[in-house]
Amino acid sequence: MLYLILKAAISGVIIATVSEVAKRSPGAGALIASLPLVSILGMIWLWRDTGDPVRMERHVGATFWYVLPSLPMFLLMPALMKRGVPFWAALAAGCALTIGLYLSMATVGPRFGLKL
């Protein structure tokens, strides 16, 4: 249980750091947020928990392919907000787009040999 609390605390510190830095400098906050810190921590936790190189290889490979459909959200949201769309509506649209693209990736990916 202590291990789970430690994992949650470290992950929470990263999120809090991003939001605090972004208050002072949106660019610096974005840089920190764009670092694959969550992915790296996830890999560390998975390796510590399993030590399974096959599972790790699959996890890292699938992470790469699932990052791709999330990227258009970061283009859609600022474009919508520049046009006066409120933040919550832009966020909802970005999330809907990402979910749609995730579903597409999960459906189409295996047809091209991707094991997600």
Per-residue pLDDT tens listing for the chain (116 residues):
888 898 889 888 988 998 999 999 988 888 888 888 888 988 999 999 999 999 999 999 989 998 999 999 999 999 999 999 999 999 999 999 999 999 999 899 899 888 77
Q: Residue count of the chain, please give it.
A: 116
Tell me the longest C-alpha to C-alpha distance in the chain: 49
Domain boundaries, the chain: 1-35, 38-116
Count helices and strands in the chain by DSSP H and E runs: 6, 0
Specify the residue for token string 């400098």: 25
Is the dihedral angle over the CA atoms 85, 92, 69, 35 positive or is it negative?
Answer: positive
List the end-to-end C-alpha distance of the chain, in Å, as a whole number: 29
